[in-house]
Amino acid sequence: MAALTDDTYESIGLVKPEVYVYVIPPRQSTTRKHRAADWKLDSPNFICRLKVITKGEKCLIRLEDRNTGAHFATCPVESYPSIAVENVEDSTRYFVIRVQNDNGQQAFLGIGFNDRSDSFDFNVALQDHFKYLKQAKQIEQEAQQTASNPSQAQQPKLDLSFKEGQTIKINLKSSLPGDEHAKKPSKNTNDSFVPGILPPPPGSSIPKLTPPPGSTIPKFAPPPSSVNASVTPSTATPTSTTTNTTNTNVHSDLSWMQF
């Protein structure tokens, strides 16, 4: 990658003007992470300015004097997460970085941020750099595969453009004066029910009302059939003297109606 050589410019991915630096005790076990509670958090050894600087594939965490900008320590980061930058076990605002001088001597320092948002920005700055490197390598590998296999590069691409003379039809709903009647929604059959009362389930029938105690359902005489057409009116017409005295009016008893 020609764009990622040592001749490229430096890029500052993050600047935090105030970071607490601690001289931490050695790790008690290789399987256990550092704990910020073991440090003297109330009395940091230094207060520095932190910068995340990228140059090509290199990524550096530089600590400087917050007033003069003089160089204090540098932490080269080859990958993240790694031993170069570790999270502590009991907090998200503190980290352990491995600083290194020009002679190759290494030391571990603890750093802490005032706010969780600062530590979040620190994480994102490191992750973005290595994510960019990963994507750049994938693009380079695809370009090399295409160069080694020209037939793959000559494959036709999917053409989704319109052909000559090809048209499409789009129906747009318009609100013309004559469309009110067509757009009027049909009345729902369930609208006749009183609000708060559920309609009966499909296929069910409304039960018939039982008459009140002591009432009788009036019986109506069937109409005369064609066979009894020759019967004299005197025998076919029921007498009015046989009416029930308890129900003088048919409409006074509504129990015969089916609701």
Q: Which domain CATH number covers 9?
A: 2.30.29.30
Whether 244 is covered by a domain: the verdict is no
Q: What is the mean pLDDT of residues 178-194?
A: 55
Task: State residue 26's pLDDT score.
Answer: 87
What are the backbone angles phi and psi of residue 117, rounded to the nearest 5°?
Answer: -65, -30
Whether 227 is covered by a domain: the verdict is no
d(CA 158, CA 68): 59
Whether 23 is covered by a domain: the verdict is yes
Task: State residue 115's pLDDT score.
Answer: 93
Whether 120 is covered by a domain: the verdict is yes
| Closest by CA position to 132, among listed 55, 207, 69 | 55
Q: What is the mean pLDDT of residues 7-29?
A: 89
Task: State residue 81's pLDDT score.
Answer: 87
CB atoms within 10 A of CB 111: 25
Whether 170 is covered by a domain: the verdict is no
d(CA 61, CA 207): 84
Task: State residue 221's pLDDT score.
Answer: 61
Whether 192 is covered by a domain: the verdict is no
Query: Which long-range contacts link 92-95 to residues 24+ away (Cβ below 8 Å)?
Result: 92/116, 92/119, 93/36, 93/118, 93/119, 94/36, 94/39, 94/119, 95/119, 95/122
Share of the chain above pLDDT 90, in %: 41
pLDDT band at 93, cuts 50/70/90?
A: very high
**In this predicted model, which residue has the larger pLDDT, 123 or 218?**
123
Whether 190 is covered by a domain: the verdict is no
Whether 229 is covered by a domain: the verdict is no
| Closest by CA position to 67, among listed 16, 17, 13 | 17
Under DSSP, is residue 117 helix (H, G, I), strand (E, B) or coil? helix
Task: State residue 66's pLDDT score.
Answer: 92
Mean pLDDT score of the chain? 77
What domain range includes position 95? 2-144
Asked if residue 82 lies in contact with residue 126, where contact means CB atoms within 8 angstroms, the answer is: no
The total number of structural domains that make up the chain: 1
